[in-house]
Homo-oligomer: A and B are copies of this chain.
Amino acid sequence: MTSLHRGKQSMIFPNRPVVTAWASVVGKKEGEGPLGKRFDLVVPDGKFGEKTWEQAETHFQQAAMELLLEKAGEEIPAPELVFSGDLLNQCVGSSYALRGSGLPALGLYGACSTMAEGLLLAGVAVNAGYVQQAAALSSSHFAAAERQYRFPLAYGGQRTPTAQWTVTGAGAILASAEGDGPVLTGATVGTVEDKGITDANNMGAAMAWAAYRTIRANLEDLSRSPEDYDQIVTGDLGSLGSNMVREFFEKDGIRLGNRYTDCGVLIYDPEAQDVHCGGSGAGCSASVLAARLLPGLASGEWKRILFCGTGALLSPTTVQQKRSIPAICHAVAIES
Which of A54, A81, A91, A193 has the largest number of chain B CB atoms within 10 A?
A91
A317 in contact with B89 (CB, 8 Å): yes
Q: Which residues, 230 to 253 on A, are CB-close (under 8 Å) to B?
A: none
Q: Is A308 an interface residue (CB 8 A)?
A: no
CB nearest to A6 among chain B residues: B77
B317 in contact with A96 (CB, 8 Å): no
Tell me the bound Cα distance from A171 to B167 in angstroms.
Answer: 36
Which of A28-36, A67-75, A120-128 contacts its partner?
A120-128
CB nearest to A95 among chain B residues: B313
A-B residue pairs in contact (CB < 8 Å), sample of 12: A6-B80, A9-B104, A11-B130, A51-B321, A54-B318, A89-B315, A89-B317, A104-B189, A105-B192, A107-B313, A109-B109, A127-B128
B328 in contact with A4 (CB, 8 Å): no
Give the residues in chain B near A131, CB-CB below 8 Å: 3-4
Extra inter-chain contacts (20) besides given A96-B318, A106-B330, A128-B128, CB under 8 Å: A1-B130, A11-B130, A51-B321, A55-B323, A85-B109, A89-B317, A90-B315, A91-B109, A92-B313, A95-B326, A96-B326, A99-B193, A102-B191, A104-B191, A105-B189, A105-B192, A107-B109, A107-B311, A107-B313, A124-B128
A103 in contact with B315 (CB, 8 Å): no
A1: contacting residue among B55, B100, B128, B328, CB under 8 A: B128
Give the residues in chain B near A197, CB-CB below 8 Å: none
Tell me the bound Cα distance from A104 to B3 in angstroms.
Answer: 13
A81 in contact with B321 (CB, 8 Å): no
Give the residues in chain B near A88, CB-CB below 8 Å: 315, 317
A111 in contact with B99 (CB, 8 Å): no
Report if A192-B3 is in contact (Cβ < 8 Å); known contacts: A92-B318, A130-B11.
no
> Number of residues in A with C-beta < 8 Å to the partner?
67
Report if A317-B92 is in contact (Cβ < 8 Å); known contacts: A1-B128, A131-B3.
yes
Q: Which 3 A-B pairs have the closest CB atoms?
A: A128-B128, A104-B189, A95-B313
Report if A321-B104 is in contact (Cβ < 8 Å); known contacts: A4-B130, A129-B1, A314-B90.
no
CB nearest to A187 among chain B residues: B130
CB nearest to A117 among chain B residues: B106
A52: contacting residue among B90, B111, B132, B321, CB under 8 A: B321
Q: How many copies of this kind of chain does the complex include?
A: 2
Q: Is A204 an interface residue (CB 8 A)?
A: no
A192 in contact with B89 (CB, 8 Å): no
Tell me the bound Cα distance from A104 to B319 in angstroms.
Answer: 25
Give the residues in chain B near A3, CB-CB below 8 Å: 80, 129-132
Q: Is A101 an interface residue (CB 8 A)?
A: yes
Q: Which residues, 288 to 315 on A, are CB-close (under 8 Å) to B?
A: 311, 313-315
B314 in contact with A107 (CB, 8 Å): no
A191 in contact with B103 (CB, 8 Å): yes
CB nearest to A81 among chain B residues: B189
Give the residues in chain B near A49, CB-CB below 8 Å: none
Shortest Cβ distance from A134 into chain B, in angstroms?
Answer: 9
